[in-house]
């Protein structure tokens, strides 16, 4: 492992690059080689507090900027993302490991939220009621909260930050972003592009760090709201700690997403969907399909007959090989954790149909690769069924009936996403209404809503009252104010000391 060639990254505060001063740093890997390629400074409490102070100082001026001007900056940012797409994708792939096409797709999904934020003038419009009483009018407005913060995961270093800061900033807030320390280069680049787009210094700040940085954001009274995407264990901690410190919190957490396959499903369509949904981005996404529930033995057998050859032909390799269909997982620790779950599945008695352990990629023998894995005959008490593995491991559960399958999905502690594949409209409608999951796909394997809708799960997949982006994003990053107004007039006079229904106050 050659550290002589590594570079050390920086923070981005007040519109400029700021070197780390804590003396602590974390390693950033090239997942395809397993080598450390960069180091990232881990901010101290004082460094995070300095970023918060910068955002706090910038807030009054930014909040006073007209919404139309804020929208124009978002239009500029949108254009810069398009112009720098290759550069952004390279920064994602080099540190996360996903293929370039996958990286560009994730950036595009983030770009959709930026485009939604470009309509902020319309989104912030309030309501108006004339003559709620004699000579009295009433209206509402949505105003920014102040300093907001985002804590984002490693699996989407471009998309998830863009689900947060564009909406928060367009609404008139300032923002402190704490990206994953595993792949922070793209978020830092996004901050530079925001400055280039015309964003005033201090409105968007990026501090790299670990738990010390997170805890500072959670407890500092100047931070009004926290957005988080990550594991349920950490998300629950962030939600409870943040709310105990009187902050608004949205915490989008873990998942175990099921695809229900009915006997009448188009099996070619099912297999195409499974390949992308289970193994895209090496399974490192909260909307990955990690469980397929088949109704009936014949359905399972038909699917496995078509699926196995496709999995065996899947090309695993580095993002620099444009023929690669699936890259490595993010770090050696992630590889070892996923392999440990495969070991556990074997121990617990599941049928290992395709083993991804020990895969070797020529020229990248020390890379963090795990091959596409399939378990059949999985039971609901097995850890590979209950836990979010976050890797390319698919579990197939054979259900006796549609009702058994629905009950199984509803009983799981997570409620992020699910899908049903069927030609039966009645079954699809029943499933959509009865299933206790936040996002549902009908013959759509990864039902991530577009930016003008909101993203969020149920049960232990979401802590807080607001989903992310879309209309929910506007509500989360603003507070409602209602004004009731009456002007003095010589036409009427006299004090009133009680409320009169339908009359004056």
- Residue 171 annotated among the catalytic residues of the structure: no
Backbone angles phi and psi of 202, in degrees to 5: 90, -10
Identify the CA nearest to 29 among candidates 211, 182, 239: 182
Please state, in angstroms and rounded to a whole number, the distance separating the CA atoms of residues 177 and 223: 12
H runs (alpha helix) in 208-320: 211-219, 232-244, 267-279, 297-312
Structure token pair of residue 209: 């760090």
Q: Strands 11-13, 223-229: parallel, antiparallel or unpaired by DSSP?
A: unpaired
Q: E strand or H helix at 291, and its extent?
A: strand 289-295
Backbone angles phi and psi of 283, in degrees to 5: 75, 5
Q: Which residues contact 289 (CB under 8 A, 6 or more apart)?
A: 257, 258, 259, 273, 274, 277, 278, 394, 419, 445, 446
* CA 421 to each of CA 297, 358, 373, 456: distance values in angstroms, whole numbers, following the listed order: 16, 33, 22, 21
Please state, in angstroms and rounded to a whole number, the distance separating the CA atoms of residues 299 and 135: 69
Exposure on the CB side of residue 396, measured as CA atoms within 13 A: 26
Question: Which entry of 171, 186, 253, 286 is annotated as an active-site residue?
Answer: 286
As annotated, the active-site residues are 286
């Amino acid at each position: 492992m050659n550290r002589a060639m590594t570079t050390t990254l920086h923070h981005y505060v007040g519109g400029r690059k700021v070197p780390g001063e804590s003396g602590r740093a974390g390693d950033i890997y090239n997942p395809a080689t397993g080598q450390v390629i960069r180091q990232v400074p881990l901010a101290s409490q004082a460094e995070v507090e300095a970023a918060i102070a910068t955002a706090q100082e910038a807030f009054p001026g930014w909040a006073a900027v007209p919404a139309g001007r804020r929208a124009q900056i978002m239009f500029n940012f949108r254009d810069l993302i398009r112009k720098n797409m290759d550069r952004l994708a390279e920064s994602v792939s080099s540190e996360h490991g996903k293929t370039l096409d996958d990286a560009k797709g994730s950036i595009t999904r983030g770009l959709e939220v930026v485009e939604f934020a470009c309509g902020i003038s319309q989104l912030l419009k309030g309501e108006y009621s004339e003559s709620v009483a004699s000579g009295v009018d009433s209206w509402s407005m949505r105003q920014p909260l102040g300093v907001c913060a985002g804590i984002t995961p490693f699996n989407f270093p471009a998309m998830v930050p863009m689900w947060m800061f564009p909406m928060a900033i367009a609404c008139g807030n300032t923002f402190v972003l704490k990206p994953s320390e595993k792949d922070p280069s793209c978020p830092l680049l996004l901050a530079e592009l925001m400055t280039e787009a015309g964003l005033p210094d201090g409105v968007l700040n990026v501090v790299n760090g670990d738990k010390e940085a997170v805890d500072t954001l959670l407890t500092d009274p100047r931070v009004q709201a926290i957005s988080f995407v990550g594991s349920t264990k950490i998300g629950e901690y962030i939600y409870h700690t943040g709310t105990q410190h009187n902050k608004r919190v949205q915490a989008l957490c873990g998942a175990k997403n099921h695809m229900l396959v009915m006997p009448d499903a188009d099996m070619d369509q099912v297999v195409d969907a499974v390949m992308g949904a289970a193994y895209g981005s090496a399974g490192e996404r909260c909307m990955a399909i990690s469980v397929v529930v088949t109704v009936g033995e014949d359905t399972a057998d038909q699917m496995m007959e078509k699926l196995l050859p496709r999995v065996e032909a899947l090309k695993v390799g580095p993002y620099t090989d444009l023929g690669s269909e699936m890259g490595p997982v993010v770090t050696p620790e992630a590889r070892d954790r996923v392999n440990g779950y495969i070991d556990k599945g074997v121990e617990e008695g599941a049928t290992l149909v395709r083993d991804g352990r020990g895969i070797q990629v020529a020229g990248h023998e020390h890379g963090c690769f795990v091959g596409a894995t399939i378990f059949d005959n999985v039971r609901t008490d097995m850890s590979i069924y209950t836990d979010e593995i976050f890797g390319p491991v698919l579990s197939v559960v054979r259900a006796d009936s549609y009702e058994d399958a629905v009950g199984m999905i509803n009983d799981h502690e997570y409620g992020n996403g699910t899908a049903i594949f069927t030609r039966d409209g009645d079954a699809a409608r029943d499933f959509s209404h009865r299933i206790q999951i936040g996002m549902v796909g009908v013959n759509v394997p990864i039902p991530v809503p577009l930016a003008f809708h909101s993203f969020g799960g149920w049960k232990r997949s979401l802590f807080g009252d607001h989903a992310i982006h879309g209309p929910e994003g506007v509500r989360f990053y603003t507070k409602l104010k209602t004004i009731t107004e009456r002007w003095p007039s010589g036409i009427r006079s006299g004090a009133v000391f009680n409320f009169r229904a339908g009359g004056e106050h």
